[in-house]
Structure 1
C-alpha cells in the first residue's frame, strides 16, 4: 500500500503532481527510484521542472463558431516553440474546448482537461506551456464578429458590431483597435479613477505654468476632450481616414452601426521576461 508520506516525499523531490506521484509509485510497487523513472518517461517530471519558468512568448488566437467566439493567449518560453506544429495544434484544440465548454474562469477551464493537454506538451518539448487568459463571447444573429490577428498572433482583436452583420467591416475596426490600443469603446466606460487622475495631472501642470485659476478649468476640459479622442475607440480618428472618427466612419456605412465591445490581447503584456545565460539554459535542459 502506498502511503501519504511516500507520495509527499516523491512530490518534494520531483515537483510532480500528487496524482502523478501516486500513480507512479503504484506502478513501481512503492520503489521511489523506479517511480522517478516512470515520471521521466511519461514526461511529467520534465513538465514539473518547468512549472516555475516564465512563459512570455507564444501566441494569441481567435476562433469563431456561429454566434460564439473565443480569444485566448497561450504562452511558451520561446518563440521557436510557439511557431511549431505541436503548439499551433494545441492552441486550436484549446480554443475548440473553450468554445464547447464555455468555462466560467481559468481555473475551471484548466480543470476541464485543458491542463492535461498543456502538461503533455510541456513534457514532450521541455518548455512550459501555459494558458494565460481567455474570453468566450456571444453575439446575436443581427450582429457581426470581427477577428483581426496581427504579426502571427502577437496581437489579436475580437470586435462585435451592432446594426450590421458585415464581418469584414468588424474586422476593419479590429485593425483600428490593434493599432491604437484604446482604453474603452466609449467615454462612459472609462474608469472614473483614471479620469480623476488625468484631471489632477493637468491641473498640477497648469499651476506649475502659473496659469490663472479662472482659466484652468476650461483648459482642463479641452485636454480631457483630447484624452477621450485618444482613449475611446469611437472617438479616435479612423486610421484609414483621419478626418473622420471611428463612429463617423461607421455612420458612413449605414444607419445604426456601432461598436458593441472589443477584446484586445497582446502577447506577453504585463509579464516580466527574464534573460538567461544561454549556456546555462542548455545545461539545465540536459539535466
Structure 2
C-alpha cells in the first residue's frame, strides 16, 4: 500500500470519528435543550398554579362582604371550612411565621375579622385572636383531627347551631398539653399509677359528636358569642372501661366545659394572630 493511500484512509477514519463525536455532541445539546425546556415548562405550570390560587383567594376576599351580608348561614359554613382545612394541614399553624406564608390562612383570618365582633367570646376567652389560638392548639395537640359538618339550623333569630362529628387521635402531645397529670413521673422511685391509662389512651382514635352555637348581633350580623360542646364521654367510657378510670382521666384534664383546651393562653402569639400583618 502506498504512502498516499495510507494517508487517505487515516484522514477518512479521522473524519468518521470526528463526525461521530460531532453527532454525539449534537445529540447531547439537543437533550440538554429538551431538558431545559421541560424544566421551564414545569416552572411555568407551577407559577400559573400559584397565580390561579392567588386569584381565587383575591376573589374570595373581594366577595367576603357580600357573603357576610347573606346572613349567618355562610359564616357558620365558613367557620367549619376553616376547621377542616386547618385540621388537614396542622403544620401551617405551627407558629405565626409559618402561618404568614399561606394565603389561605391569611384570608381566613381576614374573614374572621370581618365576620366576628372584636370582643367575640368563647367561655372565658375574648377576641377572634384567642379563638384562632384555640384552633392552633386543637390542630397540634391531637393527632389527625377530622371534623364533618352534619347539620346547620337556625334555632332563633340571631342564633345558629351546627352539629358535627369530630375524630381525634391521642398522641404524646395530647398527654403533655391536655392530660399532663397522666404523664410518666420524672423522679426515680415514684409510683407510675397512670401507666395502664396511658397505654389505653395512647394511639386511641376517639370519635364524638359535637355542636357549635353561634350568636350574632342583629345590627351588624357579626358573631358575638360562640358556644361549643364536645361529647367525649361515650368514646372514653368504651375505651377506658369504667367511670373510675374516666374520672381519673378527666378530673384534672386541661379541657374546660366550654371546650377550651390547654393551659394559659399565649397572649403574645394571640396578639400576632389578630394583627394587621396578616392582611394580603
**Normalising to structure 1: TM-score of the pair?**
0.26
**Which structure's residues are more often helix, by fraction?**
2
Larger Rg: 2
